[in-house]
Amino acid sequence: MAGPRIALGGFMLESNGHAPVATRAEFEASCWLEGEALAADLAKPAPRAPAGLSGFIRAMDAGRPWQPVFTIAATAGASGPMDQDVFDDVVARLEAALRAAMPLDGVFLALHGAATATVDRDPDGTLLRRVRAIVGPDVPVLGTLDLHANVAWSMVEAADMLAAYITNPHVDQAERGAECAAVMRAMLGGMRPRSAFVKLPFIPPATSQNTTAGPYADAIAHGQRYLDHEVLNVSISSGFSLGDTPKNGLSVIVTTRTDGDRARQVAAEIADWIWSTRERWITNLTSLEDATALALAAGRDPAAPSLLFADVADNPGGGGRGNTAFILESFVRAGVEGAVFGIHNDPALAAEAHALGLGSRFTARFNRDETNIFSKPFEAEAVVEALTDGEVVGRRGIYRGRSVSTGPTALLRIGGVRVAVVTNRRQLAEPRMVESLGVDLRAVRSLVVKSRGHFRAGFDDIWTPDRIIEVDVPGLTTVVLTRVPWREVPRPIYPLDAGMEWKAAGVSLRGG
């Protein structure tokens, strides 16, 4: 084998500071792959490992020969702060793999960037620093970041470039990996980029972060207009506000080929421009009462457009438990017809339905084992309408071409509504998660999803933005930021603190 030796790895967790601790089991249920097993996974048509790695590998393969060195990919979607021992283990395994592989010519990591651990408040920064310490200052270290990364200077300082997704839903993960491959090639040829970093005192509500239209779409477009021969990458990460960490806040990273002054100037200009748009990011939700009336009407009139109701406050993709019953209870009590709820996380209920079998009638007791205050018990007479093992390969949006498992899954009928009950906590972003249960989405009158926004790319062939209702119910991932019991978010911060003035100053610069 000839060509540069590039180490590949991944670490992804989005930590909600108010959700239960993220365990090793959660990583293992999602993706924990090392060495040969990681290589084998990424060679499959539908890997579990992050799409950024696939994109990087494909782009590198299209060029001159190179040698991938597979280290570890540990990902767990969104949960709470990571068990410190599990994080330490991930880093130790990554370090051991890098040490064994030295000398290396480069490192590429698919990162999320919004993890916290139970002790370490900046695991992503720690991981990058430890990688840098092993490979030294001259070996390129590149990484992709989630659009919701809570970026810290420690992360920017340790990497040569961090490229955040520019789409939400995140359908450009592979593309950003490919972008890193191009920069890797240029760095192997001698380029040494500079990165400027600005953090805004601004935590935008999660529901105003769609990148197809609205203030975030405009911010991304504004940033991308600066790209030219000198400006390599503009990354605007809104951050994950519910992480509730000292590194919360929207951030701008601008990476240039050589010109540090240009990087700083562009970063400051973009940051000031976004700050000037901050009032546009405040959103309006629909009350549960109004949402229930809309669902009732949709169920009664088959000629009216069907609706999609987003339970944005219980989004497993943001650390929600995926099992609150506020909307379910309201729709059932009101007698809504033709509604499908997907997907409701309740391992005990899914197991009971599997044990009882198809066609069984029983009293479905939701949330019998749950302890979170928002996940209140709910009981109703139910019929088991479908049972699956929950293994699907995604066909649209963020799960397209990826393997994902909801574990043993059951479709329960409760009066006029059906509920897809799952064993693995996931967000409903992929149509096959309910279609595999025999649900015809085009015949559904109301689809209720536990998801903040990723559902949009999965269901936009049926539910266009004008048919999407974001419902205001309580939950761990509420977008009504004034309701969150903040502990660590730096203050003052917009929109929690009124009458703030701010201007980009003291832009940090890496390189040169």
Smaller CB separation from Zn ion, 172 or 352: 172
Phi/psi of residue 29, nearest 5 degrees:
-75, -20
CB of 80 to Zn ion, least distance (A): 16
Smaller CB separation from Zn ion, 148 or 425: 148
Smaller CB separation from Zn ion, 146 or 311: 146
Sign for the CA dihedral angle at 150, 151, 155, 160 comes to positive
CB of 398 to Zn ion, least distance (A): 9
| Unique residue bearing structure tokens 């989630």 | 146
How far, in Å, CA of 283 to CA of 277, rounded? 13
Smaller CB separation from Zn ion, 166 or 386: 166
Smaller CB separation from Zn ion, 120 or 146: 146
Contact between 112 and 11 under an 8 Å Cβ cutoff? The reply is yes
Smaller CB separation from Zn ion, 165 or 309: 165
Query: How many Cβ atoms sit within 10 Å of the Cβ of residue 133?
Result: 12
Smaller CB separation from Zn ion, 48 or 185: 48
Smaller CB separation from Zn ion, 148 or 456: 148
CB of 318 to Zn ion, least distance (A): 8
Smaller CB separation from Zn ion, 144 or 256: 144
Q: How far is CA 443 from the centre of its chain?
A: 29
Please list every residue from 138 through 167 that binds Zn ion, using CB under 5 A: 146, 148
- What is the DSSP track for 166-185? --SS-TTHHHHHHHHHHHHH
Pick from 365, 342, 340, 341: nearest CA to 353: 365
Residue with the CB atom nearest Zn ion in the bound state: 148
Coil, helix or strand at residue 495: coil
Number of H helices, E strands in the chain: 14, 21
Please list every residue from 369 through 388 that binds Zn ion, using CB under 5 A: none
Q: Residue 389 — left, alpha, or beta (φ > 0 → left; ψ -120 to 50 → alpha)?
A: alpha
Contact status: 48 vs Zn ion (CB under 5 A): no
Please list every residue from 255 through 284 that binds Zn ion, using CB under 5 A: none
How far, in Å, CA of 477 to CA of 500, rounded? 25
* Contacts by residues 45-50 (CB-CB < 8 Å, ≥ 24 positions apart): 45/401, 46/393, 46/394, 46/401, 46/402, 46/403, 47/402, 47/403, 48/402, 48/403, 49/10, 49/73, 49/75, 49/110, 50/10, 50/12, 50/75, 50/110, 50/144, 50/173
Q: Which helix (H) or strand (E) holds 481?
A: none
Smaller CB separation from Zn ion, 144 or 367: 144
How far, in Å, CA of 310 to CA of 307, rounded? 10
Smaller CB separation from Zn ion, 148 or 445: 148
Instruction: Tell me the residue type at 302.
Output: P
Q: Count residues near Zn ion (CB under 5 A).
A: 2
CB of 148 to Zn ion, least distance (A): 4
Contact between 319 and 19 under an 8 Å Cβ cutoff? The reply is yes
Phi/psi of residue 116, nearest 5 degrees:
-130, 160
Pick from 501, 484, 510, 478: nearest CA to 200: 501
Query: Which residues, other chains included, contact 72 with Cβ-Cβ below 8 Å and sequence gap of 6+?
Result: 9, 10, 11, 32, 33, 34, 35, 38, 90, 93, 94, 97
User: By the criterion CB under 5 A, which residues form the site for Zn ion?
Assistant: 146, 148
